[in-house]
Amino acid sequence: MSMTPVSMEPPFGKLDPSGMAALVDAIPEQIEQALERTDAAPWKLPKHEPDLIAFGGMGGSAIAGELTAAIYADQLPHPWLVVRDYHWPACVTAKSLAVLSSNSGNTEETLALDAEARARKVPCVVLSSGGELSQRARAAGDHVQLLPGGMPPRAALFHAWVPVTRLPAALGWAGDPEPGWREAITVLHEYRDQLGVDAPESRNPAKQLARALVGRRVFVYSAPGAAAAVGTRWRQQLNENAKVLAHSAAVPEQNHNEIVGWQNASDATRAVSIVLLRDREDSAAATLRLRLAAEYAVRQGATVHEVTSDGESRIARLASLVQFGDYVSLYLALAGGVDPTDITSIDDFKRRLAESAKTR
């Protein structure tokens, strides 16, 4: 990554040839469109109540399931599993419901999960923009919750997250999420005025944080539960958009092992910036542990920054943290002089994976 300061002000030109900035700026509109789309085409589910939800997907297609599980963790009467793998655990049976999520519909691991679910006679529904996964679902008579195509999966999160939050309501496991999303639209519109691409760095907290993170390792720390799911999203976006090595962890687990990694101050600890994700539902114990962990890291040479959620409902607050992280990852890419859309490393890995499969 280039260490020469680069402007984060539009127009971005060659820095953003595929228009990732416009996609991040359009998050509030994504929510509105997703609500309209799912109003017109609600979930069609099996008649029996499943003993659990098995949500299968990878990367930007899996995080909607993880965030939804976090939102409803204190309400769901049955388990909600998020599986990022080729295989389901043994507990996923014909009594369960498999939700197969792949933006492209061609994700290798998700197609394997789909095949295994059908072999086990697990009822399935699909969340996708098309591809092989949608074709299989339609051939089997399963419901396909259609997503708009033509954008990177990580940039389409809210298109998927909104309908996934409506799944617990369709099952009678939780209330209607629409009021929370309506609040989120308002909050995120206001946030866009502060954080959006047209807001200059001099008064834009997301651009200022990105500038502070240039050239540093980024550790995202949070309380457990919902904030930890957002921490995963931040890590993924920093990886894919900004092309930086990032890490996420939650207290209290961090205090029982990772904190020992901070024990000896070194060039490595001094190269780290910690971002603390804060939410008003953080317990007093978690808040104290985060503060003490951050203080310890500062003594070892790290820098610490905080980002606090905004809004009343849990959905709006988590959405505000996600939006902030998406902007930071975008601006960190631009500040470092890298294309936020480019995923050459993933494309290369898939090519080598395919070549290796042919030689087995």
User: Over the chain, what is the mean pLDDT?
Assistant: 96
| pLDDT above 70 (res 3) | no
Mean pLDDT of the region 25-51: 97
What's the pLDDT score for residue 355? 87
pLDDT band at 356 (very low <50, low <70, confident <90, very high): confident
Q: Tell me how far apart the alpha carbons of residues 351 and 182 are, in angstroms, rounded to a whole number.
A: 42
What's the pLDDT score for residue 207? 98
Catalytic residue among 44, 48, 87, 350: 350
Mean pLDDT of the region 126-138: 97
DSSP alpha helix (H) spans, 84-174: 108-119, 131-140, 157-170
- Residue 201 is classified by DSSP as G
Q: What is the pTM of this model?
A: 0.96
**Between vectors from CA 112 to CA 111 and to CA 116, what angle results, nearest 5°?**
115
Say whether 247 is catalytic: no
CB crowding 262-295: b at 16 or more within 10 Å, else e: beeeeeebeebbbbbbbbeebeeebbebbeebbe
What's the pLDDT score for residue 1? 42
Mean pLDDT of the region 210-219: 97
Query: Each residue of 257-274: pLDDT tens digit?
Result: 999 999 999 999 999 999
| pLDDT above 80 (res 360) | no
Query: Each residue of 301-341: pLDDT tens digit?
Result: 999 999 999 999 999 999 999 999 999 999 999 999 999 99
Catalytic residue among 14, 256, 355, 358: 256
Catalytic residue among 66, 159, 240, 243: 240
For every residue of 246-294, DSSP letters joined together read EEEEETTGGGGTGGGGGSS--HHHHTEEEEEEE-TTS-HHHHHHHHHHH
Say whether 48 is catalytic: no
Spell out the domains of the chain, with CATH numbers in brackets. Answer: 22-175 (3.40.50.10490), 181-335 (3.40.50.10490)
Mean pLDDT of the region 263-290: 97
What's the pLDDT score for residue 4? 58
Mean pLDDT of the region 285-289: 98
**Between vectors from CA 43 to CA 39 and to CA 46, what angle results, nearest 5°?**
155
Query: Amino acid letter at 147?
Result: L
Tell me if 157 sits within 8 A of 61, measured CB to CB.
no
Say whether 350 is catalytic: yes
